[in-house]
Structure 1
Amino acid sequence: MKIADYLCINGIIILYNQKCEIIRKLFFLAILCSSLSFGQASNLGPSPGYSDFSFASNFVAGFSIAGSDYVTGFNIRGLNNNRDVAIEIKDSPFLDDDFKLGKTTIHNKSGFTARMRYNASKEVIEFLDDNETVRELLRRPGFSAEFDGNTYMIFDYIVANNGIQKMGYFNPLNKGNIQLLYKPEKKMKLSSYSFQERKSAYYVNTSSYFIKKQGLPAVMVALNQMDIIKHLGEKYEKPLYKYITTNHLNLKKEGDVISLIEFYNAMIASPTEEQQS
């Protein structure tokens, strides 16, 4: 491996073999930074709806070697007695590395058209501007994008393990009062816990499904019959089970869950006497 493929920043060596040009840019950014904390880049003045993209954030921001299965923060002080630890990043944080033609909508108005991709680790939409520079679409309510056959919209949701309300990107899979949402997500995980001279990390698919009721934050749901019925509510349990049986639905399948939710939305809009009983 060429020496240019290595980058050492305060005791961590980042290896990225495929794109040395990015490494050189990362090194330049590391020098400029007064601390090892990277946040979302500042907003571009004349171009509404997106921000500068920091190359460093793909390879440095997000590292936390101790204390968690997944890499969720950036904390290297005191690591391995200040010895250099090599981190080799495998796989990709993107759903698709290639940029696909897409369009944005900003507060229900047509935005701009550009080539886009989704960074499932940072949970941001990246796009190429007119100068082929990578930018990030601002993660704000009312900002959405469509590309590669998917719509990315911002929703409030409840984090399953702590009950905290957050905001993030989802793919809405149906329309109506009740929506099934897909949350594409990847987390970086270290290959081992032992502090060696060289370590590797890889991305794990941690995508999940949520149910969104009108006026409420989305909540995580498992694709199975018990959990779906529980989240739809017991009032219409009887007609829901009848619909499942009649149509031979398997609620472990995304398409069948969508079918049941669309039936539910139509039913609550104009329920029959039998469904109300």
Structure 2
Amino acid sequence: MIARLAAVFLVLAASVQSVAAQSLQSTLFDVLGMPQMVEIAREEGLATAENLGTDVFPGRSDGEWQRKVSRIYQLNAMTDLVEANFTQALSPEEATSLLQFFTSARGESIVTLELSARRALLDEEIEEASKVAATQMAAEYGQHYQLVEEFIDANNLVDSNVAGALNASLAFYRGLADGGAYPAEMGERAMVAEVWSQEGEIRQNMTEWLYSYLLLAYEPLPTQDLQAYIDLSQTPAGAALNRAMFAAFEPLFSETSYALGRAAAEMMASQEL
């Protein structure tokens, strides 16, 4: 009996510890403004889907296509997926260290600026203007540009985002194939080759977007605060945060891209009928 009670106590203690750790990491999830970031990612996805529908299904994108897209981009499900992946990718110790930074006035300012810039770039005119500004700042190569460049390099943002974009593109092709939009003889190797042929263009576009976004976001940030953020990125906790961010969002982008490809294939099939 004593042994059995001891075993029950250990199980309960482990459960309490797990819940506490999850709560800590979920707190960081909220502090970083990730629910808002998922909302922005959803709006970006909806815009992409709308453009796809207009290009591929002219005259049919307002009805059936919109219903399919709305089922793919359900905010609650997207947020739950991102939060689950994010919290699993961080240890309680890492979350504690990161909370110390991001609950400070400096950290709160960084999160606010990142969210504001990301939402601003939903406007095509602002996005285009930010790219022009980034090109000019690159030519001048001042201190602010150099620090943003250092931040991008410290977090390996170009390569990581390119890899994520390639994976999402491949997922879209797999969705098309599974939906019957590709001939049977076009297998995985052909799809990978098709996706890889886009790598150069994706890298160029991603690099341009990253610089325009981060230069816009961090323009009001004092130099010492941006340097502190770079310094954080180079710590074990900062590296863990970077990995957790990609672990959180990459599955979301791959899943929605696959579903979008599958939905497009279904639309093509019904169009042929």
Q: Which one has the bigger helix percentage? A: 2
TM-score (norm 2): 0.22
Which structure's residues are more often strand, by fraction? 1
**Higher RCO (CA < 8 A, seq sep 6+):** 2
TM-score, normalised by the number of residues in structure 1: 0.22
